[in-house]
C-alpha cells in the first residue's frame, strides 16, 4: 500500500512547508541537485515506535513531495543486537503506514568491503591507528566536557604497523576487545566525538546477512555517513541528537574519496507524554515480562498501536499536525488520540456491545418472536449503509444504564421510567429481580409496539437512548481496556522509571456480550462500540472466543481543552 500524492515540479515548494522543505526547494532551484534522494536508516535492533513515524513521514514525504525517492537502509553494524525478526517487522510497519521504497532496499552490510578499504585509506594517510587500550582506558583518556583528552600511547604507531595489525584484526587473529581502529583527529577538541573516535572493533559474532565472513565491524558513526555517500543521498535528515555528530561525519567525508557529499539536516525528535521511546527500555519491558511483547497494545511501537487499533492514517495525521521543528518539545498524548479519533469517527463501523451485561426481559413481547431492526452502520458516512440486528424478548443492556434509586440528573433506565432502545422500541422498567445477596440480576420491562424504529406516533421523547443485544444471538467476548503504561506524563522524572509503571494499564473483562456480526470480523479491524468507544479485534481471538482491545474512549479531552484555550 502506498499513499497517493501528486508530485509538484522540481524545485517547487510544497503547499505544506517547513524549514527542511524550504532548504530542499532552494537546493533544487540553485541547481545543486537534479533529483532529491533521502533515506530512512533504522538499526534492526528492535521494533519501530511512534518516534520513527515522524522520521519515516519526513524522509518519505519530502522525497515524494519533490519527485525524488527515499531509500530504506538497515544500518546493520552490530550483529549482537540485530535480528531478522526486526528487519521483517520494520519493512511491514513502513508498508502499513503507507510508504514504499520501491527497489531501493539497502543494508550497511552491503558496503562492508568498501568501508574496510576506506579505513585502510585513512591508515595510509596517517589519519587512523590501531589502539590496544581497553574500552575503559579509552573512555578515561577521552577527557570530559571541560578537560581535554590524552593521547593513547599507541597513537604514533607507524603506518606499516597499523596496516599489519588491522589486516590481522580482520583475519580473526585477536580476541574481542583486544584492539580497535581509531581515527586520528584531535584529542583536545571541544566536541568529544572528534577525540579520536573508534572506527572498528573486534566482534566474533555471526551477522544476520554476512554470517561469519567478518569478525571486525564498523562503528555506526563511521558506517552511517559513508553509506549515505555511496547511495548518493542528497539530504540526510535525522533527529536533533545527531547534530553534535555532524562535525565527525563531515570529517569523514572530507578525508575519504567518497562519491557524493550528503547534506545533513537535523529536526526535533518526537517526545510524547506518558511514553518512553528508548529502545533499551522497550527491550527491557519485553524481556522482563512487563508487557506481552513488542506488539503489546500498551507499547508505543507501531506494531503495538496497530494491534490496539490505531489506523495508519491517524498516525500520519498526528505527525503532520506536530510539524517539523528544530527545537525539542513534548507533545500531549491526547493530541495523538485526537488524530486517531478523527479518523475512526469517519471510518469505523458502529456496532452494539455490552461490557457489563444486565438481563432485560420484555414481558409483553411475544415469546419466540424475532425481529430484525435496521441499524445505521456509520452516521458520518451514508455510503456505509445499514445492517440487520436481531431483536427478541430477552436482551442485554449495560449494568450502568440502570439505577434503582437514580439521582436527579440520571436519565437512563430506572423503575417506572421509559427509555428508547436504539433503532428498536421504547421500554419501561416495571420490576427489579434480585438474588439472595440483594444484587440486581434482571429487569422486567414492557415495550410499546407503536414505537418500532425508535420513534413514537404521539411525540413522546425519552431522555435516554440505550444500546442493547439480543441475549439469544449475542456472542460472548473478552474485552481488554487500556490505560497509559506509565502513571506520570514524564516517566522516570522521579528517579526510577520502572517505579512509574501503571499496575492498572490493562483491565480484562470476561463475559462481555457483543453483536453477532462481530464474530466474523477480521483481526485488526476497528469498530465503534456505540456509547463505549473504539475497539479492535485482537490476534489472540480464537473461534468462539473473540478478544477486543479498546483503542480509545469516545471522550476527546484534548480537543475540549484546545477549544477552551482558544476561547480564553
How confident is the model at residue 567, as a pLDDT? 60
Q: Which residue of the set 21, 39, 43, 480 is catalytic?
A: 43
Decide if domain 112-220 falls under CATH 3.90.800.10.
Answer: yes
pLDDT in tens, 415-453: 999 999 999 999 999 999 999 999 999 999 999 999 999
2-6, 68-72, 204-208, 538-542: which has the minimum mean pLDDT?
Answer: 2-6
* Residues contacting residue 91 through CB under 8 Å, at least 6 positions apart: 72, 105
User: What residue spans of 289-332 are helical by DSSP H?
Assistant: 302-308, 312-322
How confident is the model at residue 528, as a pLDDT? 98
- The yes-or-no verdict on residue 10 having pLDDT over 70 is no
Helix axis angle, 50-65 to 84-97, nearest 10°: 60
Burial 311-348 (b: 16+ CB within 10 A, else e): bbbbbbbbbeebebeeeeeebbbbbbbbbbbbbbbebb
Overall average pLDDT of the 179-194 stretch = 98
Clarify whether 43 is annotated catalytic. Answer: yes
Report the chain's mean pLDDT, rounded to a whole number.
95
How confident is the model at residue 7, as a pLDDT? 43
Q: Which residue of the set 150, 263, 279, 359 is catalytic?
A: 279
Q: What grid cell was written down for 441?
A: 440480576
Positions of CATH 3.90.800.10 in the chain: 112-220
Q: Which residue of the set 81, 261, 269, 399 is catalytic?
A: 269
How confident is the model at residue 555, as a pLDDT? 87
> What length is written for the chain?
568
pLDDT in tens, 98-138: 999 999 999 999 999 999 999 999 999 999 999 999 999 99
Positions of CATH 2.40.240.10 in the chain: 353-467
- The yes-or-no verdict on residue 287 having pLDDT over 90 is yes
Query: For the whole model, what pTM was predicted?
Result: 0.93
Strand pairing of 235-239 and 263-267? parallel
> Where does the pLDDT of residue 568 fall: very low under 50, low under 70, confident under 90, or very high at 90 and above?
low
Fold that domain 270-350+478-568 belongs to in CATH: 1.10.1160
> Where does the pLDDT of residue 566 fall: very low under 50, low under 70, confident under 90, or very high at 90 and above?
low
- The yes-or-no verdict on residue 548 having pLDDT over 90 is yes
Please state, in angstroms and rounded to a whole number, the distance separating the CA atoms of residues 251 and 163. Answer: 21
Clarify whether 173 is annotated catalytic. Answer: no
Of 472, 478, 399, nearest to 440 by C-alpha is 399
Strand pairing of 216-218 and 235-239? unpaired
Positions of CATH 1.10.1160.10 in the chain: 270-350+478-568
Clarify whether 269 is annotated catalytic. Answer: yes
The CATH class of the 353-467 domain is mainly beta
Q: What grid cell was written down for 314?
A: 491517524
pLDDT in tens, 216-257: 999 999 999 999 999 999 999 999 999 999 999 999 999 999
- The yes-or-no verdict on residue 5 having pLDDT over 50 is no
> Where does the pLDDT of residue 281 fall: very low under 50, low under 70, confident under 90, or very high at 90 and above?
very high
Amino acid at each position: 500500500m502506498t499513499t497517493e500524492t501528486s508530485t509538484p515540479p522540481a524545485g517547487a515548494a510544497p503547499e505544506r512547508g517547513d524549514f527542511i522543505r524550504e532548504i530542499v526547494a532552494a537546493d533544487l532551484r540553485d541547481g545543486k541537485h537534479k533529483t532529491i534522494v533521502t533515506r530512512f536508516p533504522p538499526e534492526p535492533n528492535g521494533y519501530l515506535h511512534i518516534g520513527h513515524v515522524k522520521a519515516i513521514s519526513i524522509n518519505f514525504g519530502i522525497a515524494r513531495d519533490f519527485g525524488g525517492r527515499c531509500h530504506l537502509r538497515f544500518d546493520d553494524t552490530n550483529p549482537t543486537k540485530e535480528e531478522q525478526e526486526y528487519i521483517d517487522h520494520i519493512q511491514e510497519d513502513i508498508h502499513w503506514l503507507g510508504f514504499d521504497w520501491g527497489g531501493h532496499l539497502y543494508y550497511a552490510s552491503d558496503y562492508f568491503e568498501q568501508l574496510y578499504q576506506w579505513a585502510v585509506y585513512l591508515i595510509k594517510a596517517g589519519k587512523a591507528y590501531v589502539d590496544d587500550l581497553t574500552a575503559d582506558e579509552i573512555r578515561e583518556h577521552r577527557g570530559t566536557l571541560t578537560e581535554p583528552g590524552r593521547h593513547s600511547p599507541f597513537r604514533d604507531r607507524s603506518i606499516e604497523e597499523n596496516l599489519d595489525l588491522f589486516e590481522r584484526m580482520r583475519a580473526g587473529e585477536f580476541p574481542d576487545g583486544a584492539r580497535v581502529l581509531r581515527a586520528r583527529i584531535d584529542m583536545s577538541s571541544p566536541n568529544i566525538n572528534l577525540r579520536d573516535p573508534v572506527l572498528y572493533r573486534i566482534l566474533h559474532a555471526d551477522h544476520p546477512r554476512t554470517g561469519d565472513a567478518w569478525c571486525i565491524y564498523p562503528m555506526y558513526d563511521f558506517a552511517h555517513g559513508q553509506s549515505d555517500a555511496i547511495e548518493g543521498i542528497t539530504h540526510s535528515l535525522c533527529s536533533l541528537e545527531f547534530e553534535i555528530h555532524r562535525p565527525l561525519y563531515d570529517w569523514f567525508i572530507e578525508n575519504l574519496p567518497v562519491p557524493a557529499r550528503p547534506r545533513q539536516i537535523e529536526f526535533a525528535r518526537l517526545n510524547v507524554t506518558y511514553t518512553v521511546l528508548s529502545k533499551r527500555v522497550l527491550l527491557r519491558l519485553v524481556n522482563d515480562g512487563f508487557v506481552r511483547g513488542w506488539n503489546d497494545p500498551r507499547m508505543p511501537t507501531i506494531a503495538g498501536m496497530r494491534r490496539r487499533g490505531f489506523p495508519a492514517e491517524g498516525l500520519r495525521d498526528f505527525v503532520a499536525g506536530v510539524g517539523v521543528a528544530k527545537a525539542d518539545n513534548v507533545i500531549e498524548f491526547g493530541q495523538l488520540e485526537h488524530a486517531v479519533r478523527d479518523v475512526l469517527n469517519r471510518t469505523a463501523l458502529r456496532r452494539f456491545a455490552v461490557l457489563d451485561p444486565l438481563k432485560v426481559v420484555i414481558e409483553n413481547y411475544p415469546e419466540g418472536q424475532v425481529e430484525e431492526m435496521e441499524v445505521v452502520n456509520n452516521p458520518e458516512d451514508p455510503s456505509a449503509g445499514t445492517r440487520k440486528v436481531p431483536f427478541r424478548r430477552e436482551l442485554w443492556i449495560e449494568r450502568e444504564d440502570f439505577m434503582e434509586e437514580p439521582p436527579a440528573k440520571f436519565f437512563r433506565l430506572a423503575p417506572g421510567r421509559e427509555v428508547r432502545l436504539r433503532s428498536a422500541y421504547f421500554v419501561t422498567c416495571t420490576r427489579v429481580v434480585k438474588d439472595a445477596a440483594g444484587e440486581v440480576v434482571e429487569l422486567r420491562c414492557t415495550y410499546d409496539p407503536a414505537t418500532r424504529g425508535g420513534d413514537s406516533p404521539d411525540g413522546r421523547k425519552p431522555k435516554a437512548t440505550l444500546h442493547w443485544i439480543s441475549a439469544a444471538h449475542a456472542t460472548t467476548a473478552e474485552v481488554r481496556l487500556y490505560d497509559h503504561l506509565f502513571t506520570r506524563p514524564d516517566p522516570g522524572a522521579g528517579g526510577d522509571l520502572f517505579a512509574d509503571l501503571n499496575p492498572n494499564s490493562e483491565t480484562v473483562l470476561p463475559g462481555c456480550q457483543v453483536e453477532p456480526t462481530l464474530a466474523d470480523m477480521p483481526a485488526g479491524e476497528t469498530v465503534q462500540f456505540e456509547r463505549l468507544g473504539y475497539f479492535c479485534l485482537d490476534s489472540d481471538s480464537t473461534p468462539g472466543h473473540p478478544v477486543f482491545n479498546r483503542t480509545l474512549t469516545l471522550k476527546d479531552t484534548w480537543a475540549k481543552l484546545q477549544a477552551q484555550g482558544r476561547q480564553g
